[in-house]
């Protein structure tokens, strides 16, 4: 039997986050290539090749060329077991990404060398900062024209509010890009544009080795030495503890599309990134090395397989060992469940697993038992926290466009809401169903998936709304008075909680001052 401590030590569970188009899915794919998990990289954007990226498998993703669901992929690399969670970069799916960040121990941020830090990246970095999640930055697309590397470093520090330390350094960029000097391991990697093959490594003794001059020419070699001297003068030496505490972000340079600089990133990552860490539950902090199993659901995905209407709940193992067919306690429902067919994923390909260790992500077939945030244990009554739903910013009435398919529509809407794609409210005044989302794109995704996965057609009707907020009070009379007065603006969420639909920020602030005994919440965790 494998020793749990060894299993935990070799696990690396991380998410790759970035702004759309910075090259996140391409990087994920190249990491899988090194792990031997796939043998040919899918050309993500090219329509000539119908081989789309391994991690973007939902139909709509193939059409739009963007990732809309978080994919989970596991593979072995050397002595390590790596679990990658590829997240949607598109801001309309930010919520899915925020939740994914609760299930990882570290993060790789991909930044486009030409565009630098973009809004979405800033927001995601805030979530990492809240949790002190260690971050490594990969500056991508060096084979295209972009900005000066020193300028990029300054921008990273300023925009992401974190100290950085380059662990590799580019020799020119764009058309003149010749390669990268690996500061972490002290080697020189020469660039040849090739999507399927890794880098050519020149073995050198140190930065003054004449082999560098032979490889890149004297002018570039002199520039490289000057840059490295400047780096050592400006940035303190790399300290792993500072990185693990979330205070310093190591930076690597490369081109994911050309598989360049990716292996260097991976080799350094497995050495320095944290193995699974203790997780906070409401009651206490849970240590991964504990004997008994515990974990939580951070994502639910309907219809992984279009031929079978099945949902899958993704469970992050936090402590102990998860075993197939063992009895586990579902804390919220108070029931004991056994799972006969838990799965592990390699994008859409999944295989049944007999056991899983802290840091692993297990897919559990779900027939409606799970909600996001549910805790599973071997009997102890604990609740994992920190999986909020944020209050939506866009709202539409959802109407059935085909009266014969009312049942399919209901079922589809329920399952998609379980996934946390959007939130459903029922208007108390007219009984109509309202869908709230963080972004416009989600309405299209919902409509598309209802049609293609459930055979149901929906129609959207616009409604003018500013915010939906959950309300509560210790004074039942205050709640009653509020609901009477705001009767036309009240709804309930799926858990039957009262939600106030404010149609403007003015109305909301008036309500807050008129009803001092009522607490208004903008996230579902309170």
- For residues 66 and 93, is the Cβ–Cβ distance under 8 A? no
> Quick one: tokens of 372?
């996001």
- For residues 18 and 91, is the Cβ–Cβ distance under 8 A? no
> Quick one: tokens of 204?
């050198």
User: C-alpha angle 416/418/419, rounded to 5°?
Assistant: 65
Q: What distance in Å separates the CA atoms of residue 195 and residue 448, rounded to the nearest whole number?
A: 33
Report, at the CATH architecture level, how domain 4-272 is classified: 3-Layer(aba) Sandwich (3.40)
How does DSSP classify residue 196? S
User: C-alpha angle 316/122/278, rounded to 5°?
Assistant: 30
Nearest to 23 by CA among 127, 84, 113, 97: 113
Residue 108's alpha-carbon distances to 69, 111, 247, 325, in angstroms, are 18, 10, 14, 34
Question: CATH for 288-377, among 3.40.50.300, 3.90.1150.10, 3.40.50.2300, 3.40.50.620?
Answer: 3.40.50.300
For 445-480, letters b (16+ CB in 10 Å) and e give bbbbbbbebbebbbebeeeebebbbbbebeeeebbe
Nearest to 35 by CA among 71, 100, 87, 84: 84
> Quick one: tokens of 505?
């920020």
Q: What is the reported pLDDT for 75? A: 81
How does DSSP classify residue 391? P
Q: What is the reported pLDDT for 354? A: 87
Nearest to 185 by CA among 211, 206, 215: 206
> Quick one: tokens of 407?
């049942």
> Quick one: tokens of 139?
């500056």
Give, for all 526 residues of the chain, the pLDDT tens digit: 468 899 999 999 988 888 777 777 788 878 877 776 554 444 333 333 334 454 554 554 444 444 334 467 788 888 898 888 866 544 544 566 677 788 889 999 999 888 888 877 887 788 788 778 999 999 998 888 888 899 999 999 999 999 999 998 888 877 788 888 888 887 777 777 655 555 566 767 676 777 777 777 788 888 888 888 888 888 989 999 999 999 999 999 988 888 888 888 898 999 999 999 988 888 888 999 999 999 998 887 765 455 555 677 889 999 999 998 899 999 888 889 999 888 876 544 567 888 889 988 888 887 778 887 889 999 888 888 755 566 677 889 999 888 888 898 988 888 888 767 688 999 988 889 999 887 777 788 788 888 888 888 999 998 888 888 889 889 989 999 999 898 888 999 888 889 998 888 888 888 988 898 888 887 666 4
Residue range(s) of every CATH 3.40.50.300 domain in the chain: 4-272, 288-377
Residue range(s) of every CATH 3.30.70.3280 domain in the chain: 394-521
Q: What is the reported pLDDT for 242? A: 93
- For residues 385 and 265, is the Cβ–Cβ distance under 8 A? no
Longest dimension (CA), the chain: 83
How does DSSP classify residue 320? S
Q: What is the reported pLDDT for 11? A: 92
Give kind and range of the element (H or E) at residue 154: helix 149-160
Nearest to 297 by CA among 412, 376, 415, 358: 376
pTM of this prediction?
A: 0.73
Provide the H-helix boundaries in 81-136.
94-101, 119-130
Q: What is the reported pLDDT for 89? A: 46
CATH number of 394-521: 3.30.70.3280
Q: What distance in Å separates the CA atoms of residue 388 and residue 308, rounded to the nearest whole number?
A: 30
496: left (phi over 0), alpha (psi -120 to 50) or beta: left
């Amino acid at each position: 039997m494998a020793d749990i401590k060894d299993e935990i030590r070799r696990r690396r569970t991380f998410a790759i986050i970035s702004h759309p188009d910075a090259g996140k899915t391409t990087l994920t794919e190249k990491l899988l290539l090194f792990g031997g998990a796939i043998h040919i990289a899918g050309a993500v954007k090219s329509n000539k090749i119908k081989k789309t990226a391994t991690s973007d498998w939902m139909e709509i993703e193939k059409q739009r060329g963007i990732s809309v669901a978080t994919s989970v992929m596991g593979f072995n690399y050397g002595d390590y077991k790596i679990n990658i969670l590829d997240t949607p970069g598109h801001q309309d799916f930010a919520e899915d990404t925020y939740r994914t960040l609760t299930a990882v121990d570290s993060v790789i941020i991909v930044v486009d060398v030409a565009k630098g830090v973009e809004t979405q990246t800033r927001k995601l970095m805030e979530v990492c900062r809240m949790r002190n999640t260690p971050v490594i930055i990969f500056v991508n697309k060096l084979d295209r024209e972009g900005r000066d590397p020193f300028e990029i470093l300054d921008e990273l520090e300023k925009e992401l509010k974190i100290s950085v330390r380059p662990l590799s350094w580019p020799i020119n960029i764009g058309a003149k890009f010749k390669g990268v000097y690996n500061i972490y391991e002290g080697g020189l990697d020469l660039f040849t544009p090739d999507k399927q093959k890794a880098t050519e490594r020149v073995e050198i003794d140190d930065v003054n080795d004449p082999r560098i001059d032979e490889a890149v020419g004297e002018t570039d070699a002199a520039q490289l030495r000057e840059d490295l001297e400047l780096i050592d003068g400006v940035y303190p030496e790399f300290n792993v503890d500072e990185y693990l505490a979330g205070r310093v972000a190591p930076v690597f340079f490369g081109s994911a599309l050309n598989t360049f600089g990716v292996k260097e990133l991976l080799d350094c990552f497995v050495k320095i990134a944290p193995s699974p860490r203790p997780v906070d539950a409401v009651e206490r902090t849970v240590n991964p090395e504990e004997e008994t199993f515990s974990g939580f659901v951070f994502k639910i995905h309907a219809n992984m397989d279009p031929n079978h209407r099945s949902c899958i709940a993704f469970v992050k193992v936090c402590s102990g060992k998860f075993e197939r067919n063992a009895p586990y306690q579902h804390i919220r429902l108070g029931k004991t469940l056994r799972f006969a067919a838990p799965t592990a994923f390699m994008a859409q390909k999944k295989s049944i697993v007999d056991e899983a260790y802290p840091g692993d992500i297990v897919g559990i077939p779900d027939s409606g038992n799970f909600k996001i945030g549910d805790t599973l244990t071997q009997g102890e009554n604990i609740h994992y926290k920190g999986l909020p739903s944020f209050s939506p910013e866009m709202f539409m009435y959802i109407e059935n466009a085909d009266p014969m398919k009312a049942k399919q529509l209901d079922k589809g809407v329920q399952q998609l809401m379980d996934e946390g794609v959007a939130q459903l409210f029922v208007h108390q005044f007219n009984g109509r169903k309202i869908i709230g989302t963080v972004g416009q794109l989600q309405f299209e995704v919902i409509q598309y998936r209802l049609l293609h996965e459930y055979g149901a057609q929906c129609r959207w009707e616009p409604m003018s709304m500013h915010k939906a907020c959950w309300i509560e009070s210790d004074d039942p009379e205050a709640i009653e008075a509020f609901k009477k007065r705001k009767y036309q603006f009240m709804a309930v969420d799926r858990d039957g909680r009262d939600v106030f639909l404010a149609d403007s920020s003015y109305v909301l602030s008036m309500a807050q001052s008129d009803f001092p005994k009522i607490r208004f919440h903008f996230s579902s965790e309170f």
